[in-house]
Structure 1
Amino acid sequence: MHVKRLPSDVIIVIMQYLAARDLAALSETCTYIYDLVNEFGWSLHARQNSPRSFSLSKSLMTWAPYAQVRYHTITDRNWAKPRFVARPLARKWMGKLQPSLAINRSRLLVGAGNTIYSYAFTSSKAGDAPGMFFEGAFTTSQRLQAHRDITSMACVQDGGRDQTLFVGFVDGALERVTLPLSEPRLRDQPLHIDPSYRQRNYFHGDDTVESVSSAGNYTLSLSSGGIAVFMNLSSTEYIPEFLDLGWRGWSTYLSARSSTPYAVFGTSSVNPLSVHDIRASGLSPSPSAILASGTADGRPKQSAVYGIAGAPPSSPWGHSDQIIVSGWYDSLVHVHDLRSSRRAYSADPCCPAPLLPVLSVYDPWLPEPNYSVSCGGGSSSYIAAGTAQHSAVALWDVRKPSAGWSVHAPGNDRSPVYSVVLESSRLFGATQSRPFVLDFGSDVKEDTYPSLKLNHRDEASEGLKERDKTGIGFYVTRYDHSR
């Protein structure tokens, strides 16, 4: 029977289950099918296979479905090779800093020292890589003081303006900051953020705020002393809730997508990773799950968790918020599934038996702590971990985790990668020297990213070397994990 004799709605249903390559082949069978694929096939595929990406969102909203599918297909192929453009987003900062990244649909924010650097995302036409430009620098103190350095940041909802974030500091301050983007300023000169744009709180006393997370209307912070502060921002006057974890605090993660939202805490302890439910009454004081490392017959050992992330909705694990990815002191990255039944030994009948990881990966050539983790990449299948040495980022495809690889950031200094944000086609990271990007997308040009204005002498002092005369990408060192 000729395909034309099939009802069009049957063909459209079949299209929902086809990969991009199969859709392209189907469209070449005849004019009738070509028109159906153009009208329905590409839009169905784009809607069902749209990976999360803040930096691409403005462009993707204006692109035709075919252009979206083309971009994501090329991106997935580049991840598989792997092939990417490595580029610093700025020249070296003065001194050695411990930066933090935050991202929303409009901009990437880099907090380093007492300064927040803003990079705005642009909308581009199909066939051009979505770009970004340096929007400006904003200082949180009038002079450089180590106790006023930024330690963590998280963007929060502000009615679509994308200018508001919570910022943690070394001195224990937690500030709600609105960037004064409308204030007149010179782009090359930092602008001090006036107190009218800030709301400062000392919920954590003088303990360093190690982590700030946000999801939906929730915000969570954790101090080095192990004090967590949870806030529901849906009310005009939000009231902080305090939870003493009793251990040295490092990291947090919030999930608001579940029917029962939850918070995850990373500490230095025998059980360094715990999950607490968020109920109508607030944050549960007792953990609903303890996430362990090791084997089922092993005893828990003292460790620390420095980075926590969730899986994107389009990941191979499915649209589930029950996946938790964590970076540990002992160089391992663990993946826990809250639906799993694999449990470790527990000597405490009052606490839930620790949940064992469903996947564990590591870089065998760099047995260092993992300071940050993020998930995304090609087909939303990758885990990225910022390691503690040599500006290395380790990456694993969860569909074939034994084939992991690592790459050193542009400049290849000895710094940790303190923060990473992994999207569909881009990995943003920050070392002690500067922020950087690895772009796996197509059509990257010289003006896709901010100009560095480097001459040969500058390249030597910055530790950089351009790959070619276009100035688009820079040399980096990449190596496979297989021995």
Structure 2
Amino acid sequence: MSLTDLPSDVLILALQDLSASGLAAVSLSCKSIHSLVEEFGWNGHLRSNPRPALSVAKAQALWAPRRRARYNTLSDRAWSRADFTARPLSRPWTGKFQPAMAISLSRLVVAAGSTLYSYKFAVASSSELESPSVVFEGSVRLAEVPSAVYDITCLTFIDDGGLDQTLCAGYHGGEAERVILIPPDEAKNMPLAVVRFPLSHQRQSDSEFLESLKYVNDRLLSLSSTGVATLSTVPASPNDEVTSSSIDIKQRSWTSHLSLASSSPFAAFGAASTTPLTVYSIQPDRISPTPFANLCMTRRHINGPAFSSAVYGISRAPPCSVWGASDNVLVSGWYDGQVRIYDLRADERPAISESSTTTLAPVLSVLDPWSYEPIYDVACGGGSGTHLAAGSARHSVVSFWDVRSPQCGWSVYAPGNDSSPVYSVILEGSRLFGATQSRPFVYDFGPDVKNDTYPSLPDAPGADGLKGKKGAGYQVVKYKHNRGLPNGY
């Protein structure tokens, strides 16, 4: 009995367990198997091996499933070798800022001071493997006179029917706005522009400013520096009524995370206190006034004395992690330089406790043993959908770990290698976008990155820290956590 004598439905089931290389090999066996692989095999492989990547999603939607699987497989192999193209997305800004980034299916927007920089994701690519390009659309200043009051402190895209042009921006002065990007029109010689609408936000004090904004399914979660968290609706029209509810966690707060996809929706908040990472249930019309979970530093802190610390970054876990693709697994970046992962499905509350708040210890903690700097931001995804990325507080270092072998992490300095923190990171299947106090940058693990895949850098007087070119990218320095021996490449 030959393979082709088996029923098609049996063959289709067998294809589901094959790797990309296995599918490619078996598709060469005969025409009938090739047809099954093309029609069912590659699509099944992509469903079983998700690689969320907003910057290439529109381009990949036009690709055949085999091409998408090939791109993802080559990117995964590059991740396993820590082989990528490092590119700054601009020359250094004039001045030093604490930038914020937001990403959608159509563009990446970087806020530095009161200026927005927009990078559009191209859809077409000329070759079978070429990485989709990123095009600089332009910049627009939201304040006529530079002032810290108008510095953008947080940024997120909100739904606008698929146009990917509408953002919510929070300012150091405490205000929030809906900002609509008007793309440039070369035919009419019109540069990038914006239309702005104020959003209602009740400040508790003159020193309060917005620290974090998260948007999910028409709900906007804002967190102020003083710990006031507000969950509000975002109507389609700026003139429609907004409903909201607020709680005050009464702590110096830094970051937030909103999850509405889990069976029990929740919001998580990172702050500086003896309970720096807390999780609150979300009811249909409000946030619960008390947390249902405190996430502590180690297991011994469940019953032991509380220590003050801070959490600066929160993300959901990698999509293909050992804990499954669950919204109930959180990744957090801490002041002590560790990245801690928590599974909210666990229950480790001591039996003697009468509190309604569960205390959970991390299921995994990782760190760069050669750096004790705080972690300012975290993101998840990367190669095989199993990576963590963390932006460090000094020397523009980004650290990576594969949760399948967390002891084999590695770190890399951003192009330019300045002393800045990496304030923001966005991790995709084949790319990491980051931003320091001086400029945004990208690490591209995808195949066939060209010189014109990313915006060219205009000529600038003097040195800006960039080392020599290596192909389409710039030389950077990386080191393995288990060796600590820097090497340029």
TM range (shorter): over 0.9
Greater CA deviation, 175-184 or 274-283?
A: 175-184
Q: Which residue of 2 aligns with 1:240?
A: 244
Mapped to 1, the partners of 2:158 and 2:406 lie a distance apart of: 33
User: Structure 1 residues 404, 185: CA separation in 2 closer, same or farther (over 3 Å shift)?
Assistant: farther
Report matched runs for 1:315-464 at 5 Å.
Answer: 315-343=321-349, 349-454=354-459, 458=461, 461-464=463-466
Task: Quote how far apart the aligned CAs of 1:34 are.
Answer: 2.3
Mapped to 2, the partners of 1:279 and 1:319 lie a distance apart of: 23
User: Structure 1 residues 190, 35: CA separation in 2 closer, same or farther (over 3 Å shift)?
Assistant: closer
* Residue aligned with 2:79, SS: helix
Asked whether the equivalents of residues 137 and 184 of structure 2 are also in contact (C-alpha less than 8 Å), the reply is: no
* Residue aligned with 1:263, SS: strand
Greater CA deviation, 432-441 or 286-295?
A: 286-295
Q: Which residue of 1 aligns with 2:119?
A: 119
Q: Which residue of 1 aligns with 2:482?
A: 482
Task: Quote how far apart the aligned CAs of 1:100 are.
Answer: 0.5
Mapped to 2, the partners of 1:305 and 1:70 lie a distance apart of: 38
Q: Deviations over 1:101-120 (max 9, x none)?
A: 11011100101000111101
User: Structure 1 residues 86, 29: CA separation in 2 closer, same or farther (over 3 Å shift)?
Assistant: same
Greater CA deviation, 39-48 or 434-443?
A: 39-48
User: Structure 1 residues 347, 446: CA separation in 2 closer, same or farther (over 3 Å shift)?
Assistant: farther
* Residue aligned with 2:156, SS: strand
Q: Deviations over 1:104-146 (max 9, x none)?
A: 1110010100011110101124422111101111221111101
Q: Which residue of 2 aligns with 1:282?
A: 286
* Residue aligned with 1:379, SS: helix
* Residue aligned with 1:4, SS: helix
List alignment gaps of at least 5 residues for structure 1. Answer: none
Q: Deviations over 1:41-66 (max 9, x none)?
A: 11221233231110011111100011
Mapped to 1, the partners of 2:149 and 2:104 lie a distance apart of: 27
Mapped to 1, the partners of 2:215 and 2:187 lie a distance apart of: 29
Q: Which residue of 1 aligns with 2:219?
A: 218
Which of residues 302, 309, 312 in structure 2 aligns to 1:306? 312
Alignment TM-score, normalising by the size of structure 2: 0.92
User: Structure 1 residues 186, 230: CA separation in 2 closer, same or farther (over 3 Å shift)?
Assistant: farther
Report matched runs for 1:98-113 at 5 Å.
Answer: 98-113=98-113
Q: Which residue of 1 aligns with 2:88?
A: 88
Greater CA deviation, 40-49 or 247-256?
A: 40-49
Q: Deviations over 1:136-183 (max 9, x none)?
A: 112211111012111111111111111111111111111121123367
* Residue aligned with 2:92, SS: coil
Q: Which amino acid aligns with 1:211?
A: S
Asked whether the equivalents of residues 328 and 344 of structure 2 are also in contact (C-alpha less than 8 Å), the reply is: yes
Mapped to 1, the partners of 2:57 and 2:185 lie a distance apart of: 26
Mapped to 2, the partners of 1:168 and 1:183 lie a distance apart of: 27
Q: Which residue of 1 aligns with 2:166?
A: 164
Mapped to 1, the partners of 2:136 and 2:265 lie a distance apart of: 35
Task: Say yes or no: does 1:65 pair with 2:65.
Answer: yes
Task: Quote how far apart the aligned CAs of 1:188 are.
Answer: 11
Asked whether the equivalents of residues 432 and 442 of structure 2 are also in contact (C-alpha less than 8 Å), the reply is: yes
* Residue aligned with 1:39, SS: helix
Asked whether the equivalents of residues 214 and 258 of structure 2 are also in contact (C-alpha less than 8 Å), the reply is: yes
**What is the percentage of aligned positions where both structures have the same residue?**
46
Q: Which residue of 2 aligns with 1:142?
A: 144
Paired residues in the alignment total 474
Q: Deviations over 1:391-424 (max 9, x none)?
A: 0001100000000111010000000000000011
Mapped to 1, the partners of 2:351 and 2:224 lie a distance apart of: 28
Q: Which residue of 2 aligns with 1:201?
A: 200
Q: Which amino acid aligns with 1:300?
A: A
Asked whether the equivalents of residues 319 and 381 of structure 2 are also in contact (C-alpha less than 8 Å), the reply is: no
Q: Deviations over 1:253-302 (max 9, x none)?
A: 11121122111111111111111111113211111211111123543211
Q: Which residue of 1 aligns with 2:228?
A: 227
Task: Quote how far apart the aligned CAs of 1:339 are.
Answer: 1.0
* Residue aligned with 1:462, SS: coil
Mapped to 2, the partners of 1:434 and 1:313 lie a distance apart of: 29
Q: Which residue of 1 aligns with 2:486?
A: none
User: Structure 1 residues 346, 162: CA separation in 2 closer, same or farther (over 3 Å shift)?
Assistant: farther
Mapped to 1, the partners of 2:423 and 2:190 lie a distance apart of: 25
Q: Which amino acid aligns with 1:22?
A: G
Q: Which residue of 1 aligns with 2:487?
A: none
User: Structure 1 residues 273, 81: CA separation in 2 closer, same or farther (over 3 Å shift)?
Assistant: same
Mapped to 1, the partners of 2:449 and 2:26 lie a distance apart of: 29
* Residue aligned with 1:179, SS: strand
